[in-house]
Each structure stands twice: as structure tokens, then as C-alpha cells.
Amino acid sequence: MNWPFLLLDAADNNSVANYFPIGIQLIFAAGFVATMIGVSQLLGPKRKTADKLETFASGIENHGDARQPVAIKYFLVAILFVLFDVEVIFFYPYAVNFRELGWSGFGAVLMFVSFFLIGFIYIIKKGALKWED
Amino acid sequence: MPIQYYIYLCLALFSIGIIGVLTRRNAIVVFMCIELMLNAVNLLLVAFSKMHHGAALAIDSTTKAGIDGQLFVFFIMVVAAAEVSVGLAIIVMMYRNTHSVDINFLNRLKN
Amino acid sequence: MNAIIFSALAGVVMMYSGIITSKKTVIKYIAAIALVVLIAANLLQVYGIWQISVDTRDMLSFEKFGLVFNTLAFTATLIYVLLSGKEIENAGVNVAEYFALIFFVLCGVSILSSFNGLLMMFLGIEILTIPLYILTASDKRNLRSNEASLKYFLMGSFSTGIMLMGIALVYGATGSFALHTNAPVALSATGGIKASFLEVAGMILMFVSMAFKVSAAPFHFWTPDVYDGAPGVFTSFMATVVKAAGFIAFIRLFEGHTAILGPTWKILLAFVIVATLLIGNVTAVFQQSVKRMLSYSSIAQAGFMLFALYSSNDMAKEGLLLYSVAYSLATIGIFAVLIKLKDYAFDDFNGLGKTHPALAFATTVCLLSLAGIPLTGGFFAKYYMLASMVKEGGPLWLLIVAVLFAAVSVYYYFRVIQAMYFKEGTPSVQTEITSGFKAGMVLLAILIILLGIAPSLVLNLFYF
């Protein structure tokens, strides 16, 4: 095993050496995190204010417990997002085989997208995405 | 890596899912366990797909054997998403009526 | 292909019809017209006149058996919509969506009747069941409906998970999702684990999951609760068309595919059949509600339909078609009357024979057909099932057990007839009964009797 071709060697044979690059990666990652935290601890200025002890909520003031019901609209939008998001999965095989599939593949995808759009128009017509009542 | 490792891993995940479904009492946790079962199957299908592809590749270098296993995984994912949306809607509906997602409350139909 | 495409399009049309108009009766008529178009399109394909041909890459194969079943299932749905349309209108606010979901279920049915690979089978089953979860939950404020849908959903997706594991293991063993494959088994590649072991394990998992879906005995426990809790109209649909489609899928999946399981297969199946008949029939005897009785009776009828799987010869296939029709029509008829009543108890039928003689007559014919009395469709259905089993060389004891349980079933079906004719009281009819409904019920009864006299009416479709 010679150092410059470490990755190529690892791909060829099936042994513990396969995991050597991953080990290096792990050490680097852990070392980087440790170094950054240590250095910022050593060099950075220290100001203790009340705001800093608060729970971090993306800059918004937090209020109350997380375990309280939220408006059902959030749920609806989240569910619709999941549905429409996952359908994108079918575009990956199409993208990979774009040239081979040609026009018939394009027709199939067009049909898929149009069904998709029909569903989307239906949702809008039903008012599922209307945020204000 | 030999295929049996994948088979054992997937069976372990699948069994964890089944045991979860049978023993847990929170509808959402049960649901998550079902998802775990589906994902174990996904992993197994991808592993088998790679195995069949490798076996066919030794004979024919332009083979497309084993592709269908990965396609099946896509379909499982999409169907699982559809199931998630319907299932969560049912659970939310249940919660709005009973203020609980405990499936021990599901005994109104027993008598 | 016509059936699949047209049912999906009809579903979309129904979705939008709810946006265009809010008149419930109009929506119902649109659905009826769409069903007629669907039947016509399917018939065009059955007789080879016109079809949309799509290169399905052998994932679907359109054989006579499946196409004829499509016709029968769509016709049963049309009868169901015509008889119980009023109740679908009153089931909730989203009438158009209910019809759309029914059409999507029919799309699943037509995929299940023609799949040629495990991928299409999986998709068919999911397209069939996911709309049913929603239909079960359609009575949103009713806790029983909620509970039924949650149970159905958890059980349904659990069994889907099991089925997928089975499919994955079979794929690992054979390297293909095709149903009838002789692909060389990649023995060496599975490293230490025998491919035949994987395949057998996979097939058993698939069997368990399909038994879940058609509510065969050790896996039947969700059925009574779900059928009882769901709104009556949708129970009617679930217990008939959907269940028959499940059996079609079951027989397509295992037909000519069981050699690897050896003689154990028949023993396993005989055990499942006897258990199903026992649990379905004996528990139905003790029920106080007709709706719950009918759900146990559907388990019992599933036991009879499993005979088709046991023998899986041509006669069994004919018999299964006949059984689906006879059973579906009879159950749709009984439910159509049942959901007109206030409650689902036996006492609600008291005196129906005096106040509504036509309805009582039609209900009686339906019940006799379910019990398998001669001169009704149910008799020939059961006869074909048992005869196919004997033809295949099934054991005598299995035949005797089946006939015994058929005799037990007479008891609980006759309780309803007894309540209608021999008990005093006023039937608690809730919805107004129109003369059109009465005429429809009588026509249904005549159809069932016609099937009992000349079952070749249905079977000729298969050979024409």
C-alpha cells in the first residue's frame, strides 16, 4: 500500500484497510471541532448577559412549552409538502436516463407532471393553502 | 462485504419494527415502527440489487440486472409518503376527538 | 389497460366535479355515468374491439380472467352506487371525494386483476387500501369511525410491511420481480444462506400478509372492528368488491407458484381454511348487531373463497368469479336495506315483512344466497368451490367440515328472516324508501335467483 494511491487500493480489495480513509476523516472531523471550540474559548472575549442563557430559537423570543397544540394549518401544509416533495424522487431516474429515454420518456414525465399539477390545482381550489380565513 | 451481513442487519431492523408495533401503545410510535420496517426492506432491496448486479456484471459488462430492485425502493418511498399523510391525518383526527393518541383507548368497538 | 386508465381519469373527474357543483345528486349521477363509461371501456377490451395499448414491459398482463373480473366488479359497484347512492350523499360533506376515492379503489382493483409482477401487485394493493383508510374515517366526528380507521390503517400498513419483506426476500432469491420466472437462482452470491430458504421465507411472509388483507383466520381480528366502525355504506363496498379483488390478487400471486413450498402448502392452507370457517361462523352466531354479524359472515365467506386457492385449477377460477358476484350482490343488497334502518340490531328488522313486503322479499333472497340455499346464486358459488376442491383431490374431511359450517351459517342468516316475518313490531326505517329503491332491490333479487338457475350467465363471459 503506497500512500498516494490509498483510495484506489481501498476500492479494490475488501479488507479492514477499506475503512482507513474513513478513520482519517473521523480523526480530522473530531480534531477540527475540538480545535475550533478550544481556540474560540481561549481567544474570544467573554460577556455574560441574560440573553445568552436563554434557549436559542433562531433569534425569536421563546415563549411557553413546546407541547401545546398549534394551528391545524401548519399540519396541512407540512403534509402537503411531504407528498409533493417525495414525488420528486421519480425525476432522478429520469435525469440519469434522460438521453436514452428520448421523446417517449419525455411524454411519460409530462403525463406524470400533469397529474401532479391536477392534484396541485385541486388543493388550491379546495383552499388548503389559504392562510387567512 | 458479504450479503449475509446485510440480510442479518435488515432482519434485525425489521424485527425491531415488528416488536415495536406489537408492544408500544402510542399510535405515533407504532407508526414510526412501521416506517422502520419499510426502511429495513428498502435497505435489503438495495443490497440484493447490488448483489444481483455484481453477479451479472461478472458475465456481461453492460448488464442492467438488478436495476429493478432500486426502482422498487423508489416506489416504496412514495407509497410510504402517501401512507404517512393519510395516517397522520387519521391520528390528528383521533387526537382532536379524544385528546390522546394512546391505542389502549381503542376499545369502543370491542362490545 | 382501459380499466386502469379510465378509472384513474374518472377519479380525477369526480374530484373536480365537487369543485364545479355542490349539488350532491348531480355528483351522484356523474359518478353513475362515469361507471357506465368505465364498464363500456372495459368491455371493449374484453371483446378485443378497442384498447389503449401501453408498453408495460410485462409488468401487467391482460388475461380474460382479470378483465371479466373487472367487468363484474364495476357492475357490482354500479349497482352499489344506484342502491346506496342516497347514503353516500349523506355520509358527510365531501361527497365528490368519496366517489373519487371509490374510483381510485377501482383503479387498484383493475391493477390487482392484471398484475404480472410483484411491483404492480404492491402498487395495486396500496392504491386499493389507502383510499379505504380515508373512506373508513369519513365520519369525522364519530369516535367509532375514528377508531376503526386508525385500527385499519395500523393493521393495513403493518401487513404491507410484512408483504414487502416477503417481496424483498423472494427478489433476493430469484433476482426478479416477475411472477412466473425461471430465473437462475444466484446460489453462490447469497453467501451461506440458501436461496431456496430465502424464497420460502419470502413466500410465507407474502402469504401471511395476503391473509391479513382478505381477513383469513389467524389474521382476521381487525375485520369485525373495522367493518363495524366504518360508516355502513362504505362497509358495504369494503366487504364486497374490495374483498373479492383481494382474492383475485391472492390466487394470481400463488397460482402455479407453490411448487417450492411442497406438500406443506396444502396442509397450511387447509388449516387456514378450517380456522377461518370456524371463527367466522361460530362467532357470527353470537352477534347482537346485524352489521357485526355480516362482518363475521364475511370472514366465513372468505373461508369458502380460500378453496379457490386450495385447488387453483380452472374450475376454481370460474368458481371464484361466480362467488365474487353472488356474494357481492347479496351483501350489497343486505347493506342497502340495513343502512336505511336506524340501528343495526336484529330487532330493527321486526315486522319488515308486513310493512315493506318487497324489501323483505329481496332481503330474504340475499340472505338465502349468502347461506347457499339452492335456486340462489350462492348455492352454485359454494358448489363450484367445493367441486373444484374435490376435483383437485382434496381430502374428504375438508369437504365435510365446509358443508357443516355452511349449515351453521344458515342459523344466523335465518335469524334476520325470522325477525322480518315472524316477529311483531315496527321496523325503524329512517330514510324514506322510494319506489325506485324497491324496484332496484327486487331487480337485484331476481338477478340473484337468475344466477342460481343459470350460473352460466356469468361463466359464459369467461369463455366467450
The number of C-alpha atoms within 13 Å of B81 and in the hemisphere containing its C-beta is 17
The helix/strand/coil state of C461 is: helix
Q: Which residues are paired to C341 by β-bridges?
A: C429
Whether the CB-CB separation of C52 and C106 falls below 8 Å is answered with no
- CATH code at B25? 1.10.287.3510
ipTM more than 0.85?
yes
Chain B residues with CB-CB distance to A79 below 8 A? 84-85, 88-89
B46 touches chain C (CB under 8 A): no
Q: Is position B48 within any domain?
A: yes
Digitized pLDDT (tens) for each residue of chain C, 464 residues in all: 899 999 999 999 999 998 998 888 899 999 999 999 999 999 999 888 888 888 888 888 888 889 999 999 999 999 999 999 888 888 888 899 999 999 999 999 999 999 998 999 999 999 999 999 999 999 888 888 998 999 999 999 999 999 999 999 999 888 888 876 655 555 445 566 777 888 889 999 999 999 999 999 889 989 999 999 999 899 999 999 999 999 999 998 988 777 778 888 889 999 999 999 999 999 999 988 899 999 999 999 999 999 999 888 888 888 999 999 999 999 999 999 998 887 788 888 888 888 888 889 999 999 999 998 888 989 999 999 999 999 888 889 999 999 999 999 999 999 889 988 888 887 777 777 888 899 999 999 999 999 998 888 777 777 76
B39 touches chain C (CB under 8 A): no
Looking at the structure, do residues A86 and A133 belong to the same domain, yes or no? yes
Closest-CA distance of chain A to residue C20, Å? 10
**Which residue intervals of chain A are DSSP H helices?**
6-12, 20-43, 50-53, 72-87, 91-96, 98-126
b/e map of B87-108 (b: 16 or more CB within 10 Å)?
bbbbbbbbeeeeeebebebbee
Looking at the structure, do residues A25 and A82 belong to the same domain, yes or no? no
Looking at the structure, do residues A31 and A77 belong to the same domain, yes or no? no
Which residue in B74, B82, B85 is closest to A89 by CB distance? B74
> How many structural domains compose chain B?
1
C258 touches chain B (CB under 8 A): no
Question: Which C residues in the span 11-40 are in contact with A, Cβ-Cβ below 8 Å?
Answer: 12, 15-16, 19
Q: Which of B23, B106, B110, B111 to mutate to test the interface with C (most CBs of C within 10 A)?
A: B106
Q: Is position B52 within any domain?
A: yes
| Domain termination residue (choose one: A36, A65, A94) | A65
Cell numbers standing for residue B70: 432500486
Residue closest to C36 by CA, chosen among C88, C87, C82, C96: C82
| Domain range enclosing A43 | 1-65
Q: Is position B110 within any domain?
A: no
Whether the CB-CB separation of C340 and C241 falls below 8 Å is answered with no
C-beta atoms of A83 and B81 within 8 A: yes
Residue closest to C248 by CA, chosen among C63, C391, C100: C63
Looking at the structure, do residues A54 and A110 belong to the same domain, yes or no? no
| Domain range enclosing B26 | 3-101
> How many structural domains compose chain A?
2
Looking at the structure, do residues A11 and A40 belong to the same domain, yes or no? yes
